[in-house]
Amino acid sequence: MNRTLPPLRLLTVFETVIRQGGIGPAAAALNVSQPAVSQSLKELEGRLGVKLLDRTTRPAGLTVAGRLLERATADGLGRIAEAIEEIGRLGAGADQAVTIACSVGVATYWLMPRLAIFYDQHPDLAVSVRTMQQGDPPLAAEIDLAIRYGNGSWDDGVVHRLFDEQIDPVCSPVLAARLAGSDWMGSATLIHVDVDDQRWLSWAAYLRATGQKNARRRGLHFTNYVQATQAALSGLGVMLGWRSITGDLVKEGRLAHAGGQALVPEDAFYLVAAHRPRSAGACGLLSGWLMRCAESLKKEVLF
């Protein structure tokens, strides 16, 4: 059946705005102006005949139609990216390629910065990263390694414990200075991440665990930790910082501890290697290197 689809460039702009958490960060990622991004969004809405963003809120949220398109574009563009990666690997030897899967937040804030160093040490290896919304991505036929969050009880691969998680409230340094000495737990804007996975600590669960009242208050809601982190970096509120996602940002001074008790959940991060990876050599190199990165992380004390 023939269908008239919007231009790919418009869908790419929309997906980037959602993934980056706003028009400004999306414009920077796409290397275009903010007005150009806004115009592309309006053009896309005009072609579809519906509003995708609820501009009555700050930051703008997604409408029902926007959420539908978000899921579709994330899946569709992800498949295109995967196909391009596979095409790129056709020219490389099978013993020089490895694919690792993890959540979007872990890929963006923990894995990718470290991979830059790995590439310098192993320039001939082709590493592909598959990002997924869930914290325990499967080891599909084309995936050699997976970084998972859970209790480690998987039997589909060789399981190595990477590091324990640590969770505590974080925000921008400017906001942290403004909140210092105040009862910010009862007044600050809380940044929420709405996910179905109950293992990912919510504000309600954090407040219960630390013996605090879960009063009604203003809040910002996002569908993934990349968007929530961008909101925290922009000074829009306080989020629950997971060491795997916000740890480097705290060390760099881009985020600061807002106060409040740190929690170490029972679940942790694990590296799971396929029993029969496509390239045992490449998989072993990346696996060993990630384990060494995790060892250094275990020795760090965030506060």
Q: Where are the domains of the chain?
A: 8-76, 92-164+267-298, 167-257
Per-residue tens of pLDDT for the chain, all 303 residues: 345 778 888 888 888 888 888 888 888 877 778 888 889 889 988 888 889 888 777 777 788 888 888 888 877 777 776 666 665 555 555 567 889 999 888 888 888 888 888 888 888 888 888 887 766 788 877 889 999 999 999 988 999 999 898 999 999 999 999 888 777 777 789 999 887 777 788 888 888 888 877 665 668 988 888 888 999 999 999 999 998 888 889 988 999 999 888 999 889 999 999 988 888 888 999 999 999 988 876 655 444
- For every residue of 238-289, DSSP letters joined together read EEEEEHHHHHHHHHTTSSEE-SS--B--S-EEEEEEESS-S-HHHHHHHHHH
Query: Which CATH fold would you assign to the domain 167-257?
Result: D-Maltodextrin-Binding Protein; domain 2 (3.40.190)
The terminus-to-terminus CA distance of the chain in angstroms comes to 58
The two tokens of residue 162 are 């990477």
**How far is the C-alpha of 163 from the C-alpha of 160, rounded, in Å?**
9
Architecture of domain 8-76: Orthogonal Bundle (1.10)
Q: Which residue has the tokens 């470290």?
A: 114
**How far is the C-alpha of 74 from the C-alpha of 18, rounded, in Å?**
10
Q: Is 177 exposed, middle or buried (0-12, 13-18, 19+ CB in 10 A)?
A: exposed
* Angle (deg, nearest 10), helices 243-251 and 225-233: 20
Pick the CATH number of 92-164+267-298 from 3.40.190.10, 1.20.1510.10, 3.40.50.720, 3.40.309.10: 3.40.190.10
**How far is the C-alpha of 212 from the C-alpha of 206, rounded, in Å?**
8
Domain 92-164+267-298 identical in fold to domain 167-257: yes
pTM over 0.85: no
**How far is the C-alpha of 287 from the C-alpha of 91, rounded, in Å?**
23
**How far is the C-alpha of 58 from the C-alpha of 60, rounded, in Å?**
5
